[in-house]
Structure 1
Amino acid sequence: MKAIEDKIQRHKQNLNQIQAPAELEDRLRQALHRIPEKKRKNNKPLMWSISAAAALLIIVSSYQYPAFAYIGGKLLNRMELISLSFSEVAEQGYGQTVNKSKSFKDGTVITINGVIADDNAFLMYYTIKLPEGLTFKEDEFIRYGVTKVKGFLTNSKVTEGGGNYNKDKTQFQGVYKFEPVNPFSRTLTANFSEGLDSGEQEIQPISFKFEANKAMKSIINEKVSRVVPVDTGTVHYDSVIASPTSTVIRGHYELNNNGGHPMFAGKTKLFVNGTEVEYFGYRSGGVDGKNSPTFELNYDVLPTDKIESLEIVLDKFSGYEKITEPIPLTSPSDQSIKINNEKLWIRSVTQTGSGYDIVIARKEFTILDTTHMLVQAGGKKVPIAPISASRPWDLGNGNVLREQTYSVQTQDKPEFLLLEGFHYMKEYNTRISIPIVHK
């Protein structure tokens, strides 16, 4: 096991603990169930009922985890969290022990060992034990799985997972990472499945009491509301939540592409006290209240809770380069044509039975704008159609480009390619300093 060197200092005095009454879930359920469903002539009682329901929902949605069990322990990084057993992470002050099991018909036993919850994620540590005398074959653990954790106002999807066999391959110890669960949930249920040889699945639900007072409070939970201009609109960074299990930046796009996501998400770097935090991935989301597409950027656990500076850097993102000059097609070759800061290769212009095929190569993250793509031939402007799928062009020196065939129906030899522009991965290197509020 990797030695754990990083320690965090004890958090400042008397962290606020808000205890939710054990019967609160039942009260909320009953209150919501009592809301009248029939239409009434008098609008006042109906409006009162809707307001009451809205008030309850506001309470639930704004509620934060009531306690911070992680005090004075060691801050484990992402790889340690997913590679250690639950007993090992529990030694560092993390999580809630569960130890609930269910058996499949063939004798396989699934056990939920423990869980970790915070504002960013819900981690479930589990063990799969085969019947006596059986061992796992290669990757056989994929026969077993769970996709969601359900509870009161909770329907959290799995986002990633991992694990390891024991030495004799009779057990598999794993961890699933889910979307955060609602802290008002008193009971959570995970439906584990086993894929049978018949192609069907056997489902075994495992329910357990969830102790929200053992959830871990975030080190940073800040609304940042920062905007970075890009070629096709703006990137909005809305919040940063750094918890003991991960660090997440959430935001949305306002782009000039009919409300869609960017051609390339690029890369956003996160620096804490001048040190870059390891980046683990990008997730595109739905839309926010203004119908803007959202995104989520995932990073490792912060190396310390003593935050002196926090910087977000939009390193690379979708760029768009306009082309104002026609591109000559009269002498094709494998030599590159430089267009502003990017390059294209006009590989060949070949006559076919219906016209001409033009083969153009480009870098992997350079995408030609084909919306109004034309060729000039015989004094006329002719549209390009059809366009083939891209294929690799191996230069033989470690570089692999992408090439496509652009067909045009004309009997006149194409002289120029008329292109409005192209999308590419652009370096922005725009830095945003996030003020830290020490509570």
Structure 2
Amino acid sequence: MNEIEDILKANKTHLDQIQVPEALEGRLRSALNKKAHFPRANRLKSYAATVVILVAMLLSFNYDVIAIYSKQLLGYDQVMNASLKQLSDLGQGQSIGKSVSFANGVSLTVDYVVLDENQLLMFYTVNDPSGHVDEDNISPIMSLKAFWGEYHFQNSQGTMNEEKTEMKYLASFEPPMLFEKNLTLKFSLRQQGREVPAEISFTVNRNTAMGHTLKKTLNKTIVVDDTPITIDSILASPTKTVINGSLQTIFELAKAQLSGEQFRPVYLTLKLIANGKEVQIQGGGTSSGMKGITFHSDYDPLPQDLENLQLELVSLVAEYDVNQQFRLNKPSDGEKQSLNILGQMVEITKIETSKGETHITISSEESLILSRIYLMMDGKKVSLEQTIMDKYDKLPDGRSIHTRTLRFLGTGDELELDVQRMTYSKSNHEMLEIPID
């Protein structure tokens, strides 16, 4: 009770901001507006009694919400962002409270789940009385099994207590289909080189599930240096906002492979801007499959008072096939040699030989990486041994120059740099307006 009273005091501001449910407000207003057949003094007493009942109802309702929050979500503050904390304060989600214990005393408890159209969030606790909960006793490979299929684990984060006996985790799973109610969490304990499987079954209360706040099919294409990037859709929900798109269709991918001009995206930087402010990014990734090369970018939920929404394509980092050889001149007296590789400039600042090795120092834009290179020494192809010096210098215009030394075993009079593949960033900064109505 003392913990609950402390939480009530801490949430005083939240209590002051509670709004009366529309249905209740309507009924009370209707009752108050009715003509009464009793004296004015009695009417005042009736009004006062109504107000007291209303306040009692609101305090009782919020007291229950906070009691649930204190019991089920205590200790999860460090793994929740501001939006999730707000949802928790409002009592969104479903209490589960189911556990499994293993023979060695380790246990896993599913405390709470929050479900919307983008994901199912699971709050769970791992306990280890021996104080070794940080040694990855529970395998991170999890899934939710249902009647019609299996919903995969996406990511998680956790926080540990000082005694190392308890870990609080917040895990994200693919959202179950609308008709799925009975779910089973499948996981395992790592013990003595083997995995001990376990499961916890529970029923999803669809009345506590949330849908989406914005859902749009966009099909907008932005071209970055002859590379078309398609923004397919946006799905915003109370827990996060997801942008889905594609970089190459399966036909474009096949064509590139046949022609030998392969393109492999590494990272796409997108900024989501709501009401003129950048929305915090949560993560993202790319994948290849029957749909070609697709990507997704995840952000925090959109503001409730959304007035305008924009998506800025900042840059695309990708790996490109080069397959070119560049004859090297040994620099002397500070002379540098510039190489134009697919429109990107690489400077050879120094070539040195020592103890039967050749060291080549190069400089380029920060994002440029020669991801597969060889050195031809008098016609003999030699692989890169290692990079032995690596530094970044900031320029006045904000850009960074990346300087590193490449080490090759062997020496030769005639040197050629054989560049097979290269990774670099293409900037764009094109803005796309997203309709919100």
Same fold (TM over 0.5): yes
Residue 112 (str. 1) matches residue 107 (str. 2): no
**Equivalent residue number for residue 385 of structure 1:** 381
**Equivalent residue number for residue 359 of structure 1:** 360
In structure 2, C-alpha distance between the alignment counterparts of 1:202 and 1:325, rounded to whole Å: 54
Per-residue Cα deviation, 1:70-112 (whole angstroms, up to 9, x for no partner): xxx9xxxxx968338x999544232122112222123333221
**Equivalent residue number for residue 154 of structure 2:** 159
Q: 1:235 to 1:223 in 2, by over 3 A?
A: same
Cα offset for 1:248? 1.1
**Equivalent residue number for residue 283 of structure 2:** 281
Q: 1:248 to 1:395 in 2, by over 3 A?
A: closer
Which of 333, 340, 347 does residue 344 from structure 1 map onto? 347
Q: 1:212 to 1:428 in 2, by over 3 A?
A: same
Q: 1:316 to 1:406 in 2, by over 3 A?
A: farther
**Equivalent residue number for residue 174 of structure 1:** 169
- TM superposition score normalised by structure 2: 0.66
Q: Identity, % of aligned pairs?
A: 23
Contact persistence 1:334–1:345 (CA under 8 A) = no
In structure 2, C-alpha distance between the alignment counterparts of 1:112 and 1:322, rounded to whole Å: 51
Cα offset for 1:164? 2.6
Residue 183 (str. 1) matches residue 178 (str. 2): yes
Contact persistence 1:329–1:346 (CA under 8 A) = no
Q: 1:81 to 1:98 in 2, by over 3 A?
A: farther
In structure 2, C-alpha distance between the alignment counterparts of 1:4 and 1:425, rounded to whole Å: 49
Q: 1:308 to 1:261 in 2, by over 3 A?
A: farther
In structure 2, C-alpha distance between the alignment counterparts of 1:326 and 1:146, rounded to whole Å: 47
**Equivalent residue number for residue 192 of structure 1:** 187
Cα offset for 1:117? 1.4
- Unaligned regions of 5+ residues in structure 1, if any? 15-72, 74-78
In structure 1, C-alpha distance between the alignment counterparts of 2:85 and 2:325, rounded to whole Å: 66
Contact persistence 1:8–1:305 (CA under 8 A) = no
In structure 2, C-alpha distance between the alignment counterparts of 1:281 and 1:179, rounded to whole Å: 15
Higher helix share: 2
In structure 2, C-alpha distance between the alignment counterparts of 1:8 and 1:294, rounded to whole Å: 43
In structure 2, C-alpha distance between the alignment counterparts of 1:400 and 1:137, rounded to whole Å: 42
Cα offset for 1:123? 0.8
Cα offset for 1:172? 2.6
Per-residue Cα deviation, 1:217-272 (whole angstroms, up to 9, x for no partner): 11111111111112352111111111111111111112774396634324111111
Cα offset for 1:330? 3.6
In structure 2, C-alpha distance between the alignment counterparts of 1:102 and 1:325, rounded to whole Å: 61
Q: Please, what is the CA RMSD of the aligned residues?
A: 4.5
2:257 alignment partner, SS class = coil
**Equivalent residue number for residue 201 of structure 1:** 195
Cα offset for 1:352? 9.7
Residue 215 (str. 1) matches residue 222 (str. 2): no
In structure 2, C-alpha distance between the alignment counterparts of 1:315 and 1:408, rounded to whole Å: 42
Contact persistence 1:390–1:402 (CA under 8 A) = no
Kindly report which structure 2 residues correspond to 1:252-271, keeping only aligned pairs within 5 A, or say none. 252-254=246-248, 257-258=256-257, 262-271=264-273
Q: 1:322 to 1:428 in 2, by over 3 A?
A: farther
Per-residue Cα deviation, 1:257-305 (whole angstroms, up to 9, x for no partner): 43966343241111111100112322112335xx421111122222x12
In structure 2, C-alpha distance between the alignment counterparts of 1:299 and 1:388, rounded to whole Å: 39
Bigger RCO (CA 8 Å, 6+ sep) = 1
Which of 126, 133, 136 does residue 131 from structure 2 map onto? 136
Cα offset for 1:418? 8.5
**Equivalent residue number for residue 231 of structure 1:** 225
In structure 2, C-alpha distance between the alignment counterparts of 1:346 and 1:367, rounded to whole Å: 16
Q: 1:330 to 1:4 in 2, by over 3 A?
A: farther
In structure 1, C-alpha distance between the alignment counterparts of 2:325 and 2:105, rounded to whole Å: 72
- Unaligned regions of 5+ residues in structure 2, if any? 1-6, 24-64, 66-75, 395-400
Q: 1:350 to 1:8 in 2, by over 3 A?
A: farther
Structure having the higher Rg: 2
Which of 79, 101, 121 does residue 82 from structure 1 map onto? 79
In structure 1, C-alpha distance between the alignment counterparts of 2:335 and 2:238, rounded to whole Å: 52
Higher strand share: 2
Q: 1:5 to 1:123 in 2, by over 3 A?
A: farther
In structure 1, C-alpha distance between the alignment counterparts of 2:351 and 2:146, rounded to whole Å: 61
> Which one-letter code corresponds to 1:311 in the other structure?
Q
In structure 2, C-alpha distance between the alignment counterparts of 1:264 and 1:297, rounded to whole Å: 13
